[in-house]
Structure 1
Amino acid sequence: MSKSVHGSKSFAIPKQLVWEAYQRVAANKGAAGVDGVSIADFEADLQGNLYKIWNRMSSGTFFPPPVLAVEIPKPHGEGT
């Protein structure tokens, strides 16, 4: 894998982009994911957690966990 022209990181991901993504999740009152971390838990070390995500994404070592499956009940006879 080649390094980016912006330094030693594999991917040029602006920190602002990670901040904006966090703001969208927080505004949407995002629920805890499969890792069980709530917005409140994440915000306890917001700067550190955002940095960790940015650093791992930039270096190509961030692999998000699987999406949390949620069943949505449907009326009888309308799909699964």
Structure 2
Amino acid sequence: MKSNFEIGRHIVEYEQEGQERAEYGSDLLAILSKDLRLRFGKGFGRRNILDMRRFYLVYQKWQAVPAKLS
């Protein structure tokens, strides 16, 4: 799970410059998917890359919410 979060973080913070969406759209995910599959093999299809990005965006917001004290 941590690797998925870190890949998602890299996509949002570096590839998309902190924006929720890249200006050049979904081409980014297809390019990253191809590069990662060539470098690391299976598990880096476009859909998985999209899910990693979503995981980071959701979990990042969830972490920012302070826990309720009992």
TM-score calculated relative to the size of structure 1: 0.32
TM-score calculated relative to the size of structure 2: 0.35
RCO comparison, higher one (Cα < 8 Å, 6+): 2
* Higher alpha-carbon Rg: 1
Instruction: Tell me which protein shows more helix as a share of its residues.
Output: 2
